[in-house]
Amino acid sequence: MLDKRKLYINGEWVDPIEAKDLEVLNPATEQPIAVISMGTAADIDRAVAAAKKAFATYSQISVEDRLALLEKLLSIYKRRYDEMAATITMELGAPATMAREQQADVGVGHLQCFIDALKRLKTRDRLPNGDVMLREPIGVCGLITPWNWPINQIALKVVPALATGCTCVLKPSEFTPLNAMLYAEMIHEAGFPAGVFNLVNGDGINAGAALSRHKDIDMMSFTGSTRAGIAVSKEAAETVKRVTLELGGKSPNIVFADADLEERVTGSILECFNNSGQSCDAPTRMLVEREVYDKVVQIARRVGAEAKVGDPTKEGSHIGPLVSHIQYGHVQVLIEAGIAEGAKLLVGGVGKPEGFETGYFVKPTIFADVDNTMRIAREEVFGPVLAIIPFDTEEEAIRIANDTNYGLAAYVQTGDPKRAERVAARLRAGMVHINGGPHRYGSPFGGYKQSGNGREGGLFGLEDFLEVKAVHVPDAA
């Protein structure tokens, strides 16, 4: 078992002020793989002090120097790429192929796009009225990241902070801390000055809350549940710091009769099941035009039955376990609710798949004949569970799609480009995917309503970490 009890503060791996150990479990075996320290408010104080001191000088270094550091980090990440993928498989349960091709890849893709965006960023501009506008680093940033796409969210927060001249304190999820600690090793090797990046492990109630409340934190960037995002916002309010949030989702996927049903329904289900369904933007509500509803249900039953659960250390397209017993229990409750509320169970259901009694594995599950008032249509399941809902008209589809507290992503499947554009414009979501269009590096990621505020990725992600200063110059002679 790995001993990972130290915290990374002011350029060094240090012991926590108070020893509070936590075992990190492999979700496929339920066995401990590492022990970490659960940081306290005192550890957060020490990390914030280091970041505040470092900001005085790091915020003044040139863009060229920051770019050189980021390029070095990119080179190191590529060299340790396989190590990152293996770490995510071990602590998250992401299958080896998926961990290598998706989970680890984001560390390259986002970093490269931030480098490219920084080269385009204008930090000084002349306004039409003659005044000067400056974009400056906001200050010391508190970053709280989730377990489901761990290095993805770390890269989307840490990299723009470092790129813009901010300093930061990262609190990763205590369920998947090892990839964050590996990333800290890479940042250290890249030569970022002491105190610019700090890492304190811990839970949300203690370390996370201490970060959100801290008077010397200028900005909080949080990704996680809507419930926790509300808590962060409340804790940050007393010091009127900037807060950006990337929260939950219950993304609608509108399937019109003129879509390529075999291709798009199959692709949509596989996307819903990807990462064991643990994605905030997963297309978990499939809205199907009634004229092709029966055919779509047949396709869904077949694709769902063919979905395989397997050992995450093995290569392949199978589904791995959920991250923890807590998440497993949550998913089971909502599958039971779907059955109790009268949805038609096509495949899957409660309990573990045959042969997987150990580990937090769940059955890939699809419900048909779902009403949008049911819990499985309104609550974020965060597991491989799909709800299929019929509709009769385009107007009804849009109404059902928007009838949610969330607004992160939406999906449209149609053979009519004009309809795709028309419907996309009316969906209350931060991102709309048409006919399988993927999210690309550099595009803004974020949502409407209770899915959060702010945007991550590329130039948009840099802007969240910048303050705008107007410099009023004398009138020209």
* Cβ-count burial 253-265 (b if 16+ within 10 Å, e if not): bbbbbebebeebb
Both structure tokens of 178:
């090892």
Q: What are phi and psi of 147, to 5 degrees?
A: -95, -15
Query: Do the Cβ atoms of 283 and 253 come closer than 8 Å?
Result: yes
Assess whether 246 carries a catalytic annotation: yes
With H, G, I as helix, E, B as strand and everything else as coil, classify residue 330.
helix
Both structure tokens of 31:
């066995």
222 forms beta bridges with 144, 245
End-to-end CA separation in angstroms for the chain: 72
Q: What are the angstrom distances between the C-alpha of 327 and each of 128, 277, 382, 426?
A: 53, 11, 8, 33
Both structure tokens of 205:
């109630």
Q: What are phi and psi of 49, to 5 degrees?
A: -60, -40
Residue 277 DSSP code:
G
227 vs 204: CA distance, rounded Å: 12
Query: Do the Cβ atoms of 359 and 28 come closer than 8 Å?
Result: yes
- SS percent in the chain: helix, strand, coil, step 5: 40, 20, 35
Q: What residue type is assigned to position 417 of the chain? A: P
455 vs 457: CA distance, rounded Å: 7
With H, G, I as helix, E, B as strand and everything else as coil, classify residue 467.
strand
| Largest CA-CA distance found in the chain, in angstroms, rounded | 83
Q: What are the angstrom distances between the C-alpha of 400 and each of 24, 253, 254, 388?
A: 40, 10, 10, 12
Q: Which of 246, 271, 289, 380 is catalytic?
A: 246
412 forms beta bridges with 254, 434
Both structure tokens of 240:
């009127």
What is the sign of the dihedral through the CA atoms of 34, 231, 453 and 387? positive
Q: What are the angstrom distances between the C-alpha of 378 and each of 1, 176, 373?
A: 40, 27, 7
Which positions are annotated as active-site residues? 246
